[in-house]
Amino acid sequence: MSGEKPKRATLPPVQENIDKLEKAINVGNFYGAQQMYKSISARYVSAQRYSEALDLLHSGACLQLKHGQVTCGAELAVLFVETLVKGKIPFDEDILDRVRKIYKMFPQIPVPSNLGDDDDVQELTEALGAAKTRVEGCSSFLRAAIKWSAEFGAPRNGDPQLHVMLAEYIYSESPELDMARVSYHFVRGNNPKKFASTLVNFMGKCYPGEDDIVIARAVLMYLSMGNLRDANYLMDELKRQVTSQELDFPQSDLVQFITFLLQTLERDALPLFNMLRVNYKSSIDREPAFIELLDDIGEKFYGVRRRNPLQGMFGDLLKMM
């Protein structure tokens, strides 16, 4: 009996596995293929053959999503990003294109409307559940990609194009739309014109009297990041698009405050900034998040140090005592 250790099985060229698993998916064996994608890619990663693991996971994510298998596809998409991290793959346009290709494979399906009988209600319930699954899957993938990009060569907040992709998908697919979340990613993106179009579209759907809050939040989010240029561009573009569509731009004290704020931040005018906050307090208080955003703006543009919330609380307690 030989005392030699058995040789480790060598991994075949990755294209062989890609072709084999593609056949499994094409005949509908989605779950079986999914387990194979995970186990085979893990072997390539263990052998530090990251490029081949990425090829396999990219192919699997796109194929599963193409066949409407959102949960499977999203899981492989996240594994694709995790492999980028394990392999310490630097951010570049080639990888960004591969991420974009996976993103474009996520289904975009309008939620049905004009429902009547019980069958239609059942259809709506299923459609809403499917939409939630799509948004959660795509969000997990793109959030992971944003984090990877920030760590491996993109700007500190992550690649702006990835933020725009995520903002667009949340807006188009979310059954319960959170515009604060959409705005969060748009202001970290690089397409204020598209952001303006999205806001104008939403203004036609939101509750009456809330369109000014949507505009103010978007502008204040830009300013809280110190981005006065895009904040001004957004306001100008919103007015242009509203006019071209023969709509009414909201006129309110809150919009007036935002207009004056943009002018104030063009110069060194801390007293005027503070005066605006006092004079328009009732409008600012309509949205609790505005106070924190304005504190960020004061710090970014005028170096105003933010008060520690605990200090404020203890100070108030001492006054009461």
**b (16+ CB within 10 A) / e for 104-123:** ebbeeeeeeeeeeeeeeeee
**What's the CATH class of domain 210-320?**
mainly alpha
Please report the pLDDT score of residue 177 as a whole number: 85
Please report the pLDDT score of residue 123 as a whole number: 81
222-226 long-range CB contacts below 8 Å, 24 or more apart? Answer: 222/187, 222/192, 223/261, 223/265, 223/293, 223/297, 223/300, 223/301, 224/293, 224/296, 224/297, 224/300, 225/187, 225/188, 225/300, 226/300, 226/301
Domain chopping of the chain, boundaries: 210-320
Average pLDDT per 10 consecutive residues for the chain, totaling 321 residues: 46 93 95 96 96 98 96 98 98 97 92 61 84 95 98 96 97 90 97 97 83 96 97 97 92 96 96 97 96 96 78 48 40
Please report the pLDDT score of residue 117 as a whole number: 56
Q: Tell me the three state secondary structure of residue 98.
A: helix
Please report the pLDDT score of residue 118 as a whole number: 59
Q: Is 122 left (phi over 0), alpha (psi -120 to 50) or beta?
A: alpha
Please report how the helices 160-173 and 93-105 are oriented relative to each other, as an axis angle in degrees rounded to 10: 10
- Given a contact cutoff of 8 angstroms between Cβ atoms, the answer to whether 203 and 179 are in contact is no
